[in-house]
Amino acid sequence: MNDNDARVLVTGGTGFIAQHCILALLSRGYRVRTTVRSLAREAEVREHLKGGGAEPGDRLSFVTADLSADDGWAEAIAGCVYVMHGASPTPTGHQTSEDDWIRPAVDGNLRVLRAARDAGVRRVVLTSAFGAICAGHGPMTRPFNETDWSDLTKTNVWPYQKSKTLSERAAWDFVRREGAGLQLSAINPVAVLGPVLGADYSHSIRLIKSLLDGQLGNPRINCGFVDVRDVADLHVRVMTNEAAKGERFLAVAGESMWLADVARVLKERMGPVARKVSTRTLPNWVVRLGALKDPALKGSVPLLGLRLNATSEKATRLLGWTPRPREEAIVAAAESLIRFGLLRDA
């Protein structure tokens, strides 16, 4: 069998990164199966992919599987040579403990890895996060790289970052102890921007939407960015390249940026549509005060003034990966939000 005829399972087919991974795989001739929690969403996913230029027909199939239960995973993975696993049962609603974040993430990874091992899958590509690398550190004198892990002994680590760190560590531990030859590679993207395919998009895109919708100012937060199309391309490279076996790869385009600089890119590149965008940097005390009333701001406080620069030198050196400039990712996200009518009315 030609490798490009192989079937690939992409978990969580309704997800932003997952759908771009599906597009990347289809464009290279792979057959794709994807999991959804309800087959009622198949039409929505196909419509999103059509907007991304793909009408795969029977080269794409859907199966029902939920990361919180074993049912369906053996059937989902059967016959697949590779698995791209990025789905995560992120909790919503009223979480009462960190375990509401951590346990589902850890168990979900292990559930997929067990099924992949038992099905004889060649390699699993795990979509982890920069949050498994950067949290709990003070100011760095060098860019973060793949040897870094978040320090969970610190009190200022968010539950999300803990869940990503512990679930990735659990995956590596499982493959080492019980993998029976199963290969694992991990990708750790920074904030993922680029074109949305519909109304269901990532948390990072909400940053661009908030700016265009006219948020009052920008916390002094520094962040790395990368285009989702380049993240998907990296997934395919990591999936098939022998040099990627057993390795982690940061996905980041260039140096990190302050949020006020992101606002300036929108102002300079988007014209009248960016008229509401504020390039003002909010004083730290304003953000701290706001965090007392708004839980969504609480996680930002430990990041105030902290430079979170990272390097993707490893992916470039080993895999020939060359992401587009971060400014292109910012503009592409903004243009797609406008195209789908997802901004607040003027």
Residue 94's pLDDT band (boundaries 50, 70, 90)? low
Instruction: Provide CB contacts within 8 A for 271, sequence distance 6+.
Output: none
pLDDT (tens digit per residue) in 131-189: 999 999 988 999 999 999 999 999 888 888 999 999 999 999 999 999 999 999 999 99
Q: Where are the alpha helices (DSSP H) in 8-139?
A: 16-27, 42-51, 73-77, 99-118, 131-134
Average pLDDT, the chain: 93
164 is catalytic: yes
Q: Counting beta carbons within 10 angstroms of the beta carbon of residue 290, is it exposed (0 to 12), middle (13 to 18) or buried (19 or more)?
A: middle
Does residue 92 register a pLDDT over 80? no
Dist CA 322 CA 209 (whole Å)? 26
Question: Of 216 and 298, which is predicted with more confidence?
Answer: 216
In the block, residue with structure tokens 């990532």: 202
Instruction: Provide CB contacts within 8 A for 144, sequence distance 6+.
Output: 130, 133, 134, 137, 250, 308, 309, 310, 311
Does residue 327 register a pLDDT over 70? yes
* CATH for 3-200+225-253+308-323 (3.40.50.10800, 1.20.1260.60, 3.90.1150.10, 3.40.50.720): 3.40.50.720
Overall pTM surpassing 0.85 (yes/no): yes
Residue 88's pLDDT band (boundaries 50, 70, 90)? confident
Does residue 332 register a pLDDT over 80? yes
pLDDT (tens digit per residue) in 99-139: 888 889 999 999 999 999 999 999 999 999 999 999 999 88
What pLDDT is recorded for position 1? 46
Mean local confidence (pLDDT), 74-86? 97
Domain assignments of the chain as residue spans, ordered by start: 3-200+225-253+308-323
Dist CA 303 CA 244 (whole Å)? 31
Q: Which of 50, 154, 162, 164 is the catalytic position?
A: 164
